[in-house]
Structure 1
Amino acid sequence: MRYKNQCVYRPLAQINYISKSDIFFSCTEQEHRSNENTVAEHALVYIYSGSMTVTDINGTYTMHEGETFLFYRNMLAKFIKHPSENAEFKSISILFSQPFLQEFYSLNQPDGNSKPKWEAKRIEKHPLLISLFGSILPYYDLHGESLPERLTNIKLQEAITILRTVDISTDGILANFSERGKIDLAEFMLKSFTFNIPLARFAYLTGRSLATFKRDFQKIFNTYPQKWLLEKRLSQARYLISEKNIKPSDAYLAAGFENLSHFSTTFKKHFGYSPSSLVSHKSSD
């Protein structure tokens, strides 16, 4: 048995590695910044305590205690989890896999007025949602991270039924089984270059094979994708440090780099001065 005051942490990043419908609990007593993520399945996320800053290709917003969001499949996002004062961060995430949703909608007609959507959606507060998530938390307090499979299946059915009752327009996200066709590559890359994902993933998200992605990219930007991404991320990091007063130790992640040491070396090689020198220059001013 796990005692109630023990905080078991399971990051939202693990959505990447789950290929089936699931329900999991996330908890941390310190601020936690995830690596860049692709949310592989639709995820309904509720914040019990604390808050979570989310950055996707449309901007940055904050989920507060008691709020619920529906994240869409293949969404690019970065997450920063903030514990509440004198407390911890807690959230529940419910994942709806494609097989689960296809089976559900084969038995339940989707709303004909809901248009297919590829966007995160804030769900209005509702007693049914509060009751749903309130009924899940005690199982984690008593049994740890995992719910029994039978109970998980029951809660998944309950969750999607309540979600559609609260906001039927969510069918536009949940019942959207199409793969993205070709989208505007330039617009997408200018919005998503700070997400550190493989080129093959960029290609998939723009509706292209890797070879077509590289060919189209060179036509549009007149350079190779890897070179363009590196230069854009370096310029973004310099802007964040010099103009937004963000520390290099935070700016490198925000700009799309994974390793601080590699970032510092690459930055100095490209610009001729170190990231920390921008901080020193600001201080002297």
Structure 2
Amino acid sequence: MEHTSEYLIPEIKLSCYEDKFSRTDIVFDQHMLIWFISGETKIVQSEATHFFKTNDIFLIPKNKPATIINYPKDGLPHKTVVMLLTEKVLRNFYCEIEVKTKNSPISKIHSFSKSPLLQSCLASLIPYFDMKGNIPKNLALLKITEAISILRAIDIEIDGVLANFDDPNKVNLISFMEKNYMFNMPLEKFSYLTGRSLTTFKRDFMKAFNITPQRWLTQKRLELAHYQLSEKKSKPIEVCYEVGFENLSHFSFAFKKQFGYTPTELTAQRTKY
């Protein structure tokens, strides 16, 4: 995968994927504000699937599992300006402001594509990348402060997201896993997001499901894949990545072991009717 990043400071970068496609399952440790220059992205979360393209602006909240699939478009690479809204920066910002935060009940992607003020703020960063690291750090941090201020002006819910510095609390394990099993994350990340140590997570999981986490995850992903192939008429390559498998060959092998036929055989049978 041909990926390059140019940094103004660690919190601001210009990201570029030259490939036909890239895909990753991830939980970001910090909030990410993203402005699209070119290309397309498909973001799959437990409650919704999002599509973003040129000039779209959106905020991906931290500690939220997602499958991110990047595509080039119209012969142009997948290119974005990415601004990390780190806990340190946000704490410094909010320490000087009195806000009564009302934590957002659902940590969701926030879209700001129709905000010319925010687009102007992010677009103004482009000339600085040509300076090859010669931009003063305090000036770059001012751009982050400007972006946060704009977000607060255009989204009344954003303080509940940005000013929430709590670690994940212990959550209902069954509910969380049923919503997020399709994300290909290590068990350590699942345990953290449910507010548990890895040992406690494995113990609670066996009590709840009477099966090991890895076996349960594989079965659930294959069941979802079968449903999408047979009922949603999806393609095997699309299903493979959206249900949490790393590559098509491993997906096909596991699928045939579970059901007795490959994803391709299932789709071929489907077209006969």
Report the TM-score, using the length of structure 1 for normalisation. 0.83
CA distance in 1 between partners of 2:135 and 2:216 (Å): 45
Residue type of the alignment partner of 1:200: E
Q: State the SS of the aligned residue for 1:179.
A: coil
- The residue number in structure 2 matching 1:115 is 102
With 205-214 and 238-247 compared, the bigger mean Cα shift is at: 238-247
**1:168-187 correspondence runs (5 A):** 168-187=156-175
Count of residues paired in the alignment: 268
Instruction: State the identity %.
Output: 38
Unaligned stretches of 5+ residues in structure 2: none
1:227 aligns with 2:215: yes
- The residue number in structure 2 matching 1:93 is 82
With 143-152 and 35-44 compared, the bigger mean Cα shift is at: 143-152
Shift of 1:42: 0.7
- The residue number in structure 2 matching 1:52 is 41
**1:116-195 correspondence runs (5 A):** 116-117=103-104, 118-123=107-112, 125-140=114-129, 142-143=130-131, 149-195=137-183
Shift of 1:231: 0.5
Q: State the SS of the aligned residue for 1:158.
A: helix
1:199 aligns with 2:201: no
Report Cα offsets for 1:67-109 as digits up to 9, x if no partner.
3212111121122234443544332111011122112222233
Structure having the larger proportion of residues in helix: 1
CA change 1:191–1:145 in 2 (3 A) is farther
CA distance in 1 between partners of 2:48 and 2:262 (Å): 28
Report Cα offsets for 1:196-229 as digits up to 9, x if no partner.
0011111110111222222222222222211110
Residue type of the alignment partner of 2:257: K
Residue type of the alignment partner of 1:105: Y
Shift of 1:168: 4.4
Unaligned stretches of 5+ residues in structure 1: 1-7, 12-17
CA distance in 2 between partners of 1:139 and 1:206 (Å): 40
